[in-house]
Amino acid sequence: MPKIKTRRAAAKRFKVTGSGKFMRRHAFRNHLLDHKSPKRKRFLGTMAVVDERDADNVSAMLPYA
């Protein structure tokens, strides 16, 4: 059987934790930042866990993660 290809776009956007969960970036952190508070920008810069309802779709895009 041939190997399954990884979706390269998803590989650049998601990381896997040691327990097997997927981490993602927050939205709204790339432009129009001057009116957002420093606390909000600091929070948006951290990683977030992918919701359990989306985890199956992400794992299908990253078969070897």
Strands (E), the chain: 15-16, 22-25, 47-49
Alpha carbon 29 to its chain centroid, in Å, reads 14
3-state secondary structure of 17: coil
CATH number of the domain at 8-61, out of 3.40.50.920, 3.30.450.20, 4.10.410.60, 2.70.70.10? Answer: 4.10.410.60
Residue-level pLDDT at 7: 97
* pLDDT tens across the length of the chain (65 residues): 999 999 999 999 999 999 999 999 999 999 999 999 999 999 999 999 999 999 999 999 999 98
